[in-house]
A and B are shown apart, each in its own frame.
Chain A
Amino acid sequence: MSAPNKSYDPVEVEALKPEEIERMRDEALAAFESAADLDALTHAKTAHTGPTSPLSLANREIGALPPQAKAEAGKRVGMARGAVNKALSSRLTVLEAERDERVLVEEAVDVTLPYDRVPAGARHPLTTFMERVADVFVAMGYEVAEGPEVEAEWFNFDALNFVPDHPARQMQDTFFVQGADGAKTDESGVVLRTHTSPVQARALLERREPPVYVVCPGRVYRTDELDATHTPVFHQIELLAVDEGLTMADLKGTLDHMVQALFGEGMKTRLRPNYFPFTEPSAEMDMVCYVCRGESVGNPDRPCRTCGSEGWIELGGCGMVNPKVLTACGVDPEKYSGFAFGFGIERMLMFRHHVEDMRDMVEGDVRFTRPFGMEI
């Protein structure tokens, strides 16, 4: 919509005079600058950049100018509008930042508030510690074997070379299970397993032909009353390796590896001769005290409560699998040899975590268990 073109008859348009455009621009810039908040800026924006703002109206007049004047007027108005938009945008940025800052401050919270809406659960350290020990061996290629807790005496004793009435059988105070006839004698042939060792026999029988490398964690039973250091229900982990050419040095190395994996570099074990029916030779195994590393021995200034300043901690029994056990489980002792060891989980937990009373581990008090979390 342009005005009639009147050549050489320039129309003087008041609004497009340079000083007028400058004035409009300056007024807009001043208005933006003085806008104190985003609302005021919105008003100023409408007034100075909206369709009815002076600059917009002036822009419309350009069409009425003669062609030779259009370019110059257009340039002038365009520059003014550009300056206005730029000022608007920069003021908007400032004001928005101011607003954001204010609102975020208002939204601040006390981040130290607790949120124990559902208190954390935990697994029992006996469970997680057995898993941890098992994992050391699983990583070496061993498999985890399991067996029943109510066990046939043949597996618990006979197959392991515990001869009937041999004193060794009485070393383990056994819970006997009543036979189907209900007779209260210890002759049903069924017991609560007194150790995890029957799983050795089961593993050998199930796997039929060596190599057999298994670790057997589990719950075992002996007729001890519960007190600060005894419990009738406790846990053991057992290891059995049967292969060609296994030696006592291999047993020693495996034990050393285990205590290093569980207690850190530089740990080692010591073997002392002992007697178990199912191993021959047999040994008691100790590990260097992981707290004092033996430095408390003969050093009264630095007593160690973990090892009682003995320097060593007793772990359990071990040895070379008695060939009689291999025979009873159908493994040729001329061809194969093996080693085995077993130790009590409670005991190890007690010294690893300074548990002072066995009862804490059996009573299920959440205050004891909760700090142990998911893994140990």
Chain B
Amino acid sequence: MRVPLSWLREYVDLPATETGRDVQAKLVSAGLEVETVEQTGAGLKGPLVVGQVLTIEELEGFKKPIRFCTVNVGTANGTGEPQEIVCGARNFAVGDKVVVVLPGAVLPGDFAIAARKTYGRTSHGMICSGDELGMGDDGTHGIIVLPMEYEPGTDAIALLELLDEVLDIAVTPDRGYALSMRGIAREVATAYGLPLRDPALLDVPAPNSYGYPVKISDPQGCDRLTVRTVTGLDPEARSPIWMQRRLQKAGMRPISLAVDITNYVMLELGQPLHAYDRSRVRGAIGVRRAEQGEKLTTLDGTKRVLDAADLVITDDRGPVGLAGVMGGADTEVADTEIDPETGAAKGTTELVIEAAHFEPLTIARASRRHKISSEASKRFERGVDPEAGPAAAQRTVDLLVLLAGGSADAGVTEAIAPSAPRSISMRADHPDRVAGVPYGRETVVRRLQQVGCDVYGTDELVVTVPSWRPDLAFPNDLAEEVIRLEGYENLPSTLPTPPSGRGLTERQRLHRRVGRSLAGAGYVEAPNYPFVGDASFDQLQLAADDARRNTVKLVNPLADTEPALRTTLLPGLLGALRRNDGRGSHDLALFETGLVFRPTGEETKAVRLPVDRRPTDEEIAGLNASLPAQPRHAAVVLAGAREQSGWWGKGRPATWADAVEAARGLAREAGAELIVAAAVNEPWHPGRCAALSVVVDGTEQVIGYAGELHPRVVKAMHLPERTCAAELDLDVLEKAGQGVLQAPRISTFPVATQDVALVVDADVTNIRVEKLLREGAGELLEDIRLFDVFTGEQLGEGKKSLAFALRFRAADRTLTVEEASAARDAAVALAAEHTGAVLRGA
């Protein structure tokens, strides 16, 4: 809502020294969000005067038509002689009254005016357009042609109200009343403690039976309807400058007198109005729900197919307007046309004025359904004062009579569905208890009265709320009114004492640990958007039936190419890797943890539970069953060097082993045992992919994969060569945690070390051999570590040597060489038995 300060002063006698900024501060404190205070005509300096065009000489020979004019500016130029001015506009004729800026003046934008030579003549000033004066363009780009009644030489700065301040207020959805000058003026009056001249306090004639006929078939959708008629309007009458200027400053474009008046009254009182050309309306004005599929062409020229829930205004032929949203084209007020032969004006001479009150939700839905957000719908869906209709209609009639020479019909139609004022019961100390401030009953009552409430009672108050505040319905609403008028800034600052908390949960601690350990290992966190599309999965080379292609889809994605939610973190994280690589960072280790979204295939329909009670556990469970599975995953991606080259020697490229080790690190943080096994899974290299598993409740399950990416994936995604990745399900990993760690027992007896190198077939895995050695070595084995893998001619084709360091130690004695050797031999024997391992050099 744009509020010109000059207009506001019509309703509240603000001190003359108060600036827009001052009013802004008061309104902000009262809870209205004044976003900006605009200075109209900032920098403007006269002389700027009314002039009358005396002569026009068309100058020839230039690229565009140019006029040399003489203009009577009265005595404003000091001489009284005609002012000579060169002008490029053509929308004026000899005798027209125009706005002239004289040398010595400054126009907005620091545009100083001086006599200057142009097109071979000297121009002593300028004939002005609205744009040049900071009035906003009226759409014609032409110069301003004024009504004839102003004398040449009259100061146009005052005439056009060019200097003003406009407050731009963002109105929250609950405060429909603030979409009117009347509502804002009430807040200003309260904030300054000044009386309000309520523009809705008008003498309104009583309704009678000979007004324009109406027929309301849906009193729930339309509980109030006032209809008035005005006849004998002068089609040539134009909106006066003051009205045009107020509309412009409020952000609306002047159109025609009838439309301007309805807009003006809407801005003033907050009541949207509609004016019909009476000659175009057939029969009674009706209000009903539309028939499904019924058609209506709205004012904007769009042909609309109506929904059965839409409320429409009708005449005998059918819908003539979408109630509260937009009028129909058929009954539009006609543009005035001048007959070129007779010079007679032809246009609307009789108007039917409609001021209605519609149910907010009906209008909100229609506005959404038809994607029209009009000045009317914005107000109706926030709640219009249902009592304002008669006054608004009267004000419209008055203005039409005054400005268009019409006469009001005696007939006054009013249809009113029965209703009673709304009252709220509230304990007098309720605002005190909400705020934590002892305001006292007297203050509470006074503040509520300032809002417009009637208040009765002592300890238990009965508060009747004003018709323009449909948002006031509960005691807390009233408490807010009291607290905001007393000033939020005056609230004290106290601290409650919560019961002692338990700190973070195990799960939350794990999530933090995961991030810290990966960052400690050199990974940089890169959270990504979760939006994916088929292309993402194609690039990952996922098979057509891959479960990861089964996604949760959005109705309104930002990009049609990414209409779904991720089922894996890799598309986003690899995208971040590529982005970094493209920007010149080539040695990369990134990680992300976050939710992925997997349809369960058993999603129930999400029902709209009631809100007037706690839903049952079954209802909550049912609602949760409508959601997809949303496990938390962790993923890493690597490319380039894992260890840099430097003065210390050569670096080391990131490999599949780093990816697997990252997964092992996460398992360590979770206190879980990670089982690593060879696997084939997209998007990984089939020979360099590890399945990652854990045991949960006795069942082994795969929680992710790690390794080097498939070369085809690398190529398809334009990734650096040999990019590696790991991804696993943190939720399952967490479940595999062993709980509270049992402390190891440390023996202080000396260690006995034995190294063995075993030659096995190349396809025998390290993990298998190591497991057998452990098992065979028995309990004296403290630790085993693979320290070398060797292949070579001397081993023979298809063989490899695995070298292990075994450390033996007993809890209660120093081991003899014989004991250690015996344990080693047992270890080797078991490995040999199951894998055909041969002790190297034996």
**B-contacting 9-mer, from A18-26, A97-105, A358-366:** A358-366
Instruction: Kindly state the interface size class of chain A when it binds its partner.
Output: 35 or more
Query: Contact: B494 with A369, CB < 8 Å?
Result: no
State whether the Cβ of A170 lies closer than 8 Å to any Cβ in chain B: yes
Closest-by-CB residue of B relative to A118 is B522
Query: Contact: B529 with A233, CB < 8 Å?
Result: yes
Given known pairs A165-B365, A280-B480, A365-B583, the reply for A121 and B611 (CB within 8 Å) is no
State whether the Cβ of B516 lies closer than 8 Å to any Cβ in chain A: yes
- CA of A171 to CA of B630 in the docked complex: distance in angstroms? 26
Closest-by-CB residue of A relative to B597 is A150
- CA of A119 to CA of B587 in the docked complex: distance in angstroms? 9
State whether the Cβ of B198 lies closer than 8 Å to any Cβ in chain A: no
Interface centre among B499, B505, B594, B609 (most CB of A within 10 A): B609
State whether the Cβ of B512 lies closer than 8 Å to any Cβ in chain A: yes
Given known pairs A117-B646, A122-B525, A158-B608, the reply for A131 and B587 (CB within 8 Å) is no
What B residues does A254 contact at CB under 8 A?
A: 495-496
Given known pairs A121-B520, A122-B519, A138-B504, the reply for A116 and B526 (CB within 8 Å) is no
Q: A11: shortest Cβ distance to chain B, in Å?
A: 58
State whether the Cβ of A159 lies closer than 8 Å to any Cβ in chain B: yes
- CA of A180 to CA of B651 in the docked complex: distance in angstroms? 51
Query: Contact: B623 with A213, CB < 8 Å?
Result: no
State whether the Cβ of B502 lies closer than 8 Å to any Cβ in chain A: yes
What A residues does B614 contact at CB under 8 A?
A: 205, 327-331
Given known pairs A127-B527, A233-B530, the reply for A248 and B483 (CB within 8 Å) is yes
Instruction: Kindly state the interface size class of chain B when it binds its partner.
Output: 35 or more
Query: Contact: B524 with A154, CB < 8 Å?
Result: no
State whether the Cβ of B503 lies closer than 8 Å to any Cβ in chain A: yes
Closest-by-CB residue of B relative to A218 is B595
Cross-interface CB contact of B435 among A118, A146, A247, A370, cutoff 8 Å: A247
> Interface on B for A, CB 8 Å cutoff?
28-33, 172-175, 361, 364-365, 368, 381-382, 433-437, 474, 476-477, 479-480, 483-484, 488-489, 491-505, 508, 512, 515-516, 518-530, 552-558, 565, 573, 576, 579-580, 583, 585, 587-591, 594-595, 597, 599, 603, 605-615, 620, 623-624, 626-628, 630, 642-644, 646-648, 651
Interface centre among A117, A141, A189 (most CB of B within 10 A): A117
Which residues 301-330 of A have a CB within 8 angstroms of B? 320, 322-324, 327-330
Main SS class of interface, A: mixed
Given known pairs A165-B361, A327-B613, the reply for A152 and B628 (CB within 8 Å) is no
Query: Contact: B489 with A184, CB < 8 Å?
Result: no
Query: Contact: A176 with B554, CB < 8 Å?
Result: yes
Q: A299: shortest Cβ distance to chain B, in Å?
A: 16
Given known pairs A190-B627, A274-B33, the reply for A153 and B608 (CB within 8 Å) is yes
Query: Contact: A176 with B585, CB < 8 Å?
Result: no
Which residues 172-227 of A have a CB within 8 angstroms of B? 175-180, 182, 184-186, 188-190, 192, 205, 211, 213, 219, 223, 225
Q: B612: shortest Cβ distance to chain A, in Å?
A: 6
Cross-interface CB contact of A250 among B29, B33, B436, B516, cutoff 8 Å: B436
Given known pairs A118-B643, A186-B555, the reply for A253 and B613 (CB within 8 Å) is no
Cross-interface CB contact of A158 among B494, B609, B646, cutoff 8 Å: B609
Closest-by-CB residue of A relative to B558 is A232
- CA of A245 to CA of B498 in the docked complex: distance in angstroms? 12
State whether the Cβ of A264 lies closer than 8 Å to any Cβ in chain B: no
State whether the Cβ of A3 lies closer than 8 Å to any Cβ in chain B: no
Query: Contact: B590 with A144, CB < 8 Å?
Result: no
Closest-by-CB residue of A relative to B593 is A127
Query: Contact: A282 with B627, CB < 8 Å?
Result: no
What A residues does B433 contact at CB under 8 A?
A: 245, 247, 337
What A residues does B494 contact at CB under 8 A?
A: 247, 249-250, 252-253
Given known pairs A123-B516, A158-B611, the reply for A148 and B30 (CB within 8 Å) is no
What A residues does B437 contact at CB under 8 A?
A: 247, 249
Query: Contact: A178 with B554, CB < 8 Å?
Result: yes
22 contacts between A and B (CB under 8 A): A124-B525, A126-B527, A131-B512, A140-B501, A141-B497, A150-B565, A159-B609, A167-B382, A176-B555, A185-B555, A186-B555, A188-B605, A189-B606, A248-B435, A281-B434, A284-B33, A322-B476, A327-B613, A362-B528, A364-B528, A365-B579, A366-B585
Given known pairs A149-B595, A153-B608, the reply for A323 and B491 (CB within 8 Å) is no
What B residues does A238 contact at CB under 8 A?
A: none
State whether the Cβ of A115 lies closer than 8 Å to any Cβ in chain B: yes
Query: Contact: A177 with B552, CB < 8 Å?
Result: yes
Query: Contact: B496 with A363, CB < 8 Å?
Result: no
State whether the Cβ of A69 lies closer than 8 Å to any Cβ in chain B: no
Query: Contact: B554 with A369, CB < 8 Å?
Result: no
